[in-house]
Amino acid sequence: MGPDRRTLSLGKRSVLVAVAVVGAITVLAAPGTAFAAPEPSPSPSASPSKSRTPVSNKDLEAVREKLERLYHSAAVATDEYNAAEEAADKQSAQIVALAKKIVQGQERLAELKKRAGAAAAAQYRSGGLPDEAKLMLSDDPQEFLEGAGRVLQGERATKGLLGEMTRTQQDLEQYAKDASAQWQKLEAGRKAKAAAQKKIEKQIKAAEQLESRLEVEEKERLAELEKEAAHKAQTAWLDSGILDDIKGEASEEGRKAVEYATEQLGKPYEWGAEGPKTYDCSGLTSQAWASAGQGIPRTSQEQWKQLDRIRIEDMRPGDLIIYNADASHVAMYIGDGAIIHAPRPGRTVTVAGAGSMPILGVVRPDAG
């Protein structure tokens, strides 16, 4: 959505967190384990209704699938929002740079006009006589010729001055056109960002309303269904034997990125957020790699497009796993078949099974 080599030893500075992660991953690799983040504690005010027929598991499964679709749509919109925000930052910077060029160009043009005016005044003071008349009036032909040479040089300098004025004016016109184009893009991006925000809020609100209609016991059963679905996917992934082939060691940058991501465990998901208190999926992965000194694209879709792709068998801790056919989610691989990611609204940054969601592919930020 819009923001996740080594054996899970994450450095002396994160010993306590590392121990927790190692424990979580040990559980992740074991059969019969659930991978989804735990549901929040039930609200004491929500009590089962005696006059209401309990929702069947089949109906709850339909609810789970619908929630998954709603949050997926919100994730896609979050990527759109983040992309528009990133583009707006770049366009704003370009507008500022163009504004500086326009000011500099205007100052240069004023200087050139001043020099051109001085040259015109000098010509006026000389009387503006043609060379033939000056030659006839001169008592010293040699002096005239020397003066004529200087005049010729002056004329050439004047022509050069006028040419530079013309080029400066043309540059100013181009800068103004470029600035106007950037303003138009900025305005279009603002509208796209607003539309994406509206879509995100609509999808999340629909999901929350859907969940709010469930009783406490039904929410607990729904959470179990989510865990079972994640566990089933992870088990199938592990049963393929893929983990036997994944033996890559983390790079120094990868270790730093994993350490950063680990330190964010338990922090809430928030769409459009890049930390330090809240994150979306790509906000977490981009900030983790920024902490390692490696800038990467802000969105999961651009991370998929721009970063070097590698085979799943070759991945190492710190690599990014891109999920879903539309690259709408991203997580960071941390080793032993596990990931750290910011799942969705209502969840926190957590450890999960790498195969608990449909994998699109893997990218490596520090492939070079």
Of the pLDDT bands very low, low, confident and very high (cuts 50, 70, 90), residue 87 is: confident
Q: Is the pLDDT of residue 131 over 60?
A: no
Of the pLDDT bands very low, low, confident and very high (cuts 50, 70, 90), residue 3 is: very low
Higher pLDDT: 178 or 28? It is 178
pLDDT tens digits, one per residue of 14-63: 333 333 333 333 334 333 333 333 344 444 444 444 456 777 778 888 88
Give the per-residue pLDDT at 19. 31
Query: Are residues 81 and 272 in contact, defined by beta-carbon separation less than 8 angstroms?
Result: yes
How far is it, in rounded angstroms, from Cα 70 to Cα 156? Answer: 72
- What is the average per-residue pLDDT within 143-147? 53
Write out the two tokens for 13.
């500075």
Listed range (116-125, 148-157, 255-264) with the worst mean pLDDT: 148-157
CA distances from 299 to 24, 88, 159 (A): 27, 14, 53
Round the average pLDDT of the chain to a whole number and report it. 79
Catalytic residue annotation: 281, 329, 341
CA distances from 211 to 67, 221, 347 (A): 8, 12, 14
Q: Phi and psi (nearest 5°) for 154?
A: -65, -40
